[in-house]
Chain A
């Protein structure tokens, strides 16, 4: 059990650029979640997948955000035309079943210049 892996750990980019983050869940965990955490706040839910199907999206997930999990294993989160307000920690979590604990990766910290 190698834990949830996220890459990159840090990303600094200019406003208006596109960024993509990757999450590798714990092996055999079929549920994968994305959360966003801004400074001084608790994480907030963005979206979740069961296998390759994206089943739920928060209203926080604007049209500039897109997430995929093409083969039901790793997932990517893309932000297009980044804005200052996108600066945050993006956390990925996975769980084996509904109702089971979610395990979090170390996150990707995004800074918009």
Chain B
């Protein structure tokens, strides 16, 4: 199976700041998803983005499939953005392999 590495592991921001989270894959992927896990443990779909760029409000994501990485951009961060951000993907098979996550804390 593939390996997924996320960076940074921890991030502390002041409200209003921007940030970039990175996800590297050991092999090409057919499915790539970004999730936000809130403090209550709910895993929320942010993007399904095997390639290209997508935007949703203050969030956007870019996947460069040929170079096996994906980036998640958070602009004008808010305290409600706090939590853990996971990327996950698979190439063969159907099981998502998750990275270790980026733990984000946004301070007011």
Give A residues with C-beta under 8 Å from B.
Answer: 31, 33, 35, 41-45, 48, 55-56, 58, 89, 91, 93, 98-104, 106-107, 109
The answer to whether B95 touches A106 (Cβ under 8 A) is no
Give B residues with C-beta under 8 Å from A.
Answer: 4, 30-31, 33, 35, 40-43, 45, 48, 86, 88, 93-101
The answer to whether B43 touches A99 (Cβ under 8 A) is no
Residues of B within 8 A of A93 (CB): 96
Query: Chain B's nearest CB lies how many Å from the CB of A59?
Result: 11
Given contacts A56-B94, A109-B41, 13 further A-B contacts (CB under 8 A): A33-B96, A41-B100, A42-B101, A43-B96, A48-B95, A56-B95, A99-B30, A99-B31, A100-B31, A102-B96, A104-B35, A107-B41, A107-B42
Residues of A within 8 A of B93 (CB): 56
Q: Which of A42, A98, A107, A109 contacts B94 (CB 8 A)?
A: A98
